[in-house]
Structures are given as structure tokens and as C-alpha cells.
Amino acid sequence: MLTAIRKSDKNKVFGSQIDKDIEAEYYCEYCGKIVIHHNPESAVRIGHFKHKSNESLCPNITGETEIHYKTKYDIFNYIKKGWSVNLKILELEKWICNNSVRPDIYIETPKGNRIAIEVQATILTVSEIKRRTEIYFNNDIYVLWILPFEHGRIYEKVPIQNDYSKNGYEFVWEYREKVKLKEMEIFLYWAYLKKLLFWDIEHQDSDSFICVSFSEYKGNSAEFIKDGIDKYYSAKTAKTIKSTILVKKNIKFNQLSIRKIKEFNAPFRNYNIPNRRLFTFEENNK
């Protein structure tokens, strides 16, 4: 976790913003047990806190990866720098809803809207995503699920003919026709009505939010002759593969909006997409 409570003054502090102090003590905001401050000198890893090994079953022990740490910290600083003066509350790792969920970033606006930003850099079960989605809905909180952006996953290099190049062709990046989604991503794909939202931690493709729209992918139809009889198989819709159709980059925080969407059954899956309140990007808000 990136934050903890400093015992000396009861302030919530950032592991990356304080110096290593062997005399200082910090404790977990949730369970109250002592945590260890890690602030490596190398910029490769970000400062954070950890519970002592085998000491606690605290829900704050999430096993977050370095890319998760860096992504949520980057998003937090981005919002803080550009919009914090216009927000009532902007907090990293805040336990809410009777300590049942802890979004990576929690926001309250002057109009009273409450927003939770969840970074998902590792596999999460559909049941857990549903649990959190339902808790947010029942507590009037709009959630934004963010995935780490991978350029090569959304785009692919395609050769095109070019008489001016040495080999007679060159490679260009085009939308990838076949993108295989993990099960949790399929849930979010349907929850966001065939869209997924991303954050590029390297800032190579975008300096803010990215929204990728997909469509259902269908394989090729086939015609052939078997036993002297013409056969035809129509293209089938793939269950886990989608096609990239549009990528919107550099979406600013104030271009995102709140939306309430009703429950429906997810096509080709054995679960439903529950009623939800989403913080999302709509094309007409650009």
C-alpha cells in the first residue's frame, strides 16, 4: 500500500514522499497493526508500506504489483495537479462503505458526486468485480475501472507497399483486429458497453486517460464440398476475442462523466452485469 498512518502525529502519509526513518512508526489504516516503510533509493520502485510477514490477515494486504502502485500514484498526481482545487475530497487508498471496499483513489465533487477509481493491473475474479460494483451502486458511488495500457496489445504492425523504401514496403501501426480479453476484462467490456478505459504509465501514447472501443469479432465463413455436397459455415462470434475499432487518447479528467446503467445478462457468459454507476467517457462529452 502507498499510504499509512504515522504514529507520532496520526497523519496519513505517502511512502514515496517521506524519508526513511528507523525511529518512526507507521500503522495500517484498516487493521491498526504496525507496517514497514519501504522507500528504495532506486526510482525503479515506488515508496510504500508492508505488513510484517505472516502477522496479519488484513484486507490491505493485496499483493499489488509495482505497475499497480505506479499507475494509481500517477493518476492521483495527475488529478491533484489539474483539478484538486475544484474537488471537495481527493484521497489515495481510502476505506469506504463501512470498510467493505478500498478504491485506489476516492473523490468527492462540490456537487456531491462520489467517485471511486479502481486500477486493475492483475487478475481479479468476476465475482469480486461484481461485489465491488454492487457496493458502489448501492452507496451512490460512480466507479472508474482502469487497466494498464499496452500499445502492442491494441495495435499491430502491418506491412504496406512503399516504392520509396529499400524493401518496397514499410510497417505502420494499425488497430489490432483480434484482441483476446481476460475474463475480468470481458466483464468490464460489457459493463462499459463495449469499451475499456486505460492509463499509459509510460506516457508514450497518452498523457491522460485512454478509451478503447471494441466490436465483436467473427471468424471467416467457409464454403467447401464434402461427399459431393456443397457445405457452408457462417462466421461465428468469438467469445473472448474482440476487434479494436476506435482509440481515443489524452482524455482529460473533466471529460469523464457519470452514468447509471441498468442490469443485463452478459452475452455468451453465465453471469449478469449488475446495475452500476460508472465514471466513464462518452463521445459527446469530448
Amino acid letter, residue 30? Y
Whether residue 29 has pLDDT greater than 90: no
Question: Which tens digits make up the pLDDT trace of 76-103?
Answer: 999 999 999 999 999 999 999 998 999 9
- Of the two residues 76 and 18, the one the predictor is more confident about is 76
**Can you give the pTM of this predicted structure?**
0.81
Whether residues 18 and 35 fall in one domain? yes
Mean pLDDT of 246-257: 97
Whether residues 46 and 71 fall in one domain? no
As a whole number of angstroms, the distance between CA 280 and CA 116 comes to 11
Grid coordinates representing 57 are: 490477515
Whether residues 215 and 256 fall in one domain? yes
pLDDT category at 122 given cuts 50, 70, 90 is: confident
Whether residues 44 and 106 fall in one domain? no
Q: What are phi and psi of 237, to 5 degrees?
A: -75, 125
Cβ atoms of residues 200 and 210 within 8 Å:
yes
From 18, 42, 61, the end of a domain falls on 61
Whether residues 228 and 112 fall in one domain? yes
Helix/strand/coil for 281: strand
Whether residues 44 and 79 fall in one domain? no
Q: How many domains does the chain have?
A: 2
CB atoms within 10 A of CB 59: 14
Amino acid letter, residue 216? E
Whether residues 147 and 68 fall in one domain? yes
Whether residues 145 and 242 fall in one domain? yes
Whether residues 255 and 119 fall in one domain? yes
From 29, 61, 93, the end of a domain falls on 61
Percent of the chain having pLDDT more than 90? 58
Q: What are phi and psi of 19, to 5 degrees?
A: -80, 155
Mean pLDDT of 60-65: 68
Helix/strand/coil for 108: strand
Long-range pairs for 72-80: beta carbons < 8 A, 24 or more residues apart: 72/2, 72/104, 72/105, 72/117, 72/119, 73/2, 73/16, 73/46, 74/199, 74/201, 75/104, 75/105, 75/117, 75/119, 75/146, 75/199, 76/104, 76/105, 78/208, 78/253, 79/105, 79/107, 79/253
The b-or-e profile of 6-35 (16+ CB within 10 A means b, else e) is: beeeeeebbbbeeeeeeeeebbbbbbeebb
Whether residues 111 and 147 fall in one domain? yes
> What pLDDT is attached to residue 261?
97
Domain residue limits at 37 = 1-61
From 40, 61, 82, the end of a domain falls on 61
Whether residues 77 and 45 fall in one domain? no
Whether residues 76 and 15 fall in one domain? no
pLDDT category at 12 given cuts 50, 70, 90 is: confident
Grid coordinates representing 59 are: 484486507
